[in-house]
Amino acid sequence: MKVTYPKLAELELRNKRVFIRVDFNVPLKLVGETYQVSDARRIEEALPTIRHVIEQGGKVILGSHLGRPKGQFNLKYSLEPVGSYLSSVLGKDVLLTEDCVGDAPRGLSHQMRAGDVMLLENLRFHPGEEENSSEFANKLAELCDVYVSDAFGTMHRAHASTDGLPRLTKNRAIGLLVEKELKYLSPLKENPKRPFLLLMGGSKVSDKIGVLEYFLPKVDTLVIGGAMAYSFLNAKGFKVGKSICEDKQVQLAKKIIRRADARNVRLVLPEDHVVSLAFGDTQNVSVTQGIDISDDKMGLDIGPKTIAKIEAALETAETIFWNGPMGVFEEPVFAKGTFEVAKLIAKTKAVKLVGGGDSAAAITKAGLDSFFDFISTGGGATLEYLEGKNLPGLKVLEIIERT
């Protein structure tokens, strides 16, 4: 049995109304009295699909969510700043609808000419989106002749625009971004080139447990940083002071340690830490001499010994997958670990893959994007795909070939 997905290149798009589910859930910043896009990576990654449809003479109808408006209109979550940014990079007007469904957008969809672009207002202003309501999906279906899924970051959600709508649309395909995600993530999941080094950071072991368990039979070196490292250190009997460390996370860490030992996986944990008296305290910062953290301190980044240890571990890797920062990198005083690790990975000759918004943001901030083979836009969807879970937004588009 072979699973494939319909491709964008296979669709007839000329004069068709093409609904592209994009992931424009991007961070905004308030400049004066207006919001502006502060990180446009997800918009930029969707541009090849949008431009393809324009070049093929299609009528582009973009659907996305932004934030968590909880089924109600909230100006704070309007896609207007996204529309302004999109208009500037496409070099053409992008019409933003007042609502994503109803008589007005339906009428506008029929008035569009080939190459026009329309951005629907936030899909989550309607409760039917997250409820995967058939009524809401049918209203979206009235807007289009063709459905294209290019929002990999939302494929783990069975929502109306990712699951209900494609079920109602005969002519459908994955977009170029989703195609690229699968091109890089599928080989990583099935048969990564070894030696394979998995570098995990972030706050909770429970968020990463599925990926850790899935990859243990395939990984040669497992490097743990970020707040989740304190659970592993606690599990091994070290003192972690006031660092984030819940009992449930410690128990999960113990399980991973046992399984890593059983499979002879090299486990790399922090050997020193950048610490302070409390989260957000940037004045009383110091570096520990060893692994233990005193009772009055909290670990907020990895130290220089740990960075050197990670550098040594990276030298032999043929494949590297990184998810999660090494510390509270939003604060410059606790950012060195994350940025140094990004630089060290960038220097290697391995296949370098990154998943997770924080890791991607750190790479961009360090100006290292071009040194990485692939930076996933998926976040939670990437982790769920890699741990072998079915993504509803992908499964609905499957073509099963019997072999």
Contacts of 20 (CB under 8 A, 6+ apart): 46, 49, 50, 53, 60, 61, 62, 63, 148, 150, 175
Is 42 assigned a catalytic role? Answer: yes
Number of Cβ atoms within 10 Å of the Cβ of 204: 17
Name the catalytic one among 58, 128, 202, 357.
357
Take residue 355 and report the two structure tokens written for it: 């998943």
Q: CA-based angle 209:213:215, to the nearest 5?
A: 120
Name the catalytic one among 41, 51, 106, 204.
204
Contacts of 4 (CB under 8 A, 6+ apart): 398, 399, 401
- Report the C-alpha gap between 154 and 162 in whole angstroms: 7
Is 202 assigned a catalytic role? Answer: no
Number of Cβ atoms within 10 Å of the Cβ of 161: 30
- Report the C-alpha gap between 56 and 16 in whole angstroms: 10
Q: Determine contact, residues 327/335, Cβ cutoff 8 Å.
A: yes
Tell the burial category of 327 from Cβ atoms under 10 Å away from its Cβ (0-12, 13-18, 19+). buried
Beta bridge partners of 299: 275
Which region holds residue 166: left if phi is over 0, alpha if psi is between -120 and 50, else beta?
A: alpha
Tell the burial category of 57 from Cβ atoms under 10 Å away from its Cβ (0-12, 13-18, 19+). middle
Name the catalytic one among 16, 17, 42, 242.
42
Is 63 assigned a catalytic role? Answer: no
- Report the C-alpha gap between 101 and 172 in whole angstroms: 20
Distance of CA 232 to the CA centre of its chain: 25
Name the catalytic one among 67, 102, 115, 380.
380
Catalytic residue annotation: 42, 204, 357, 380
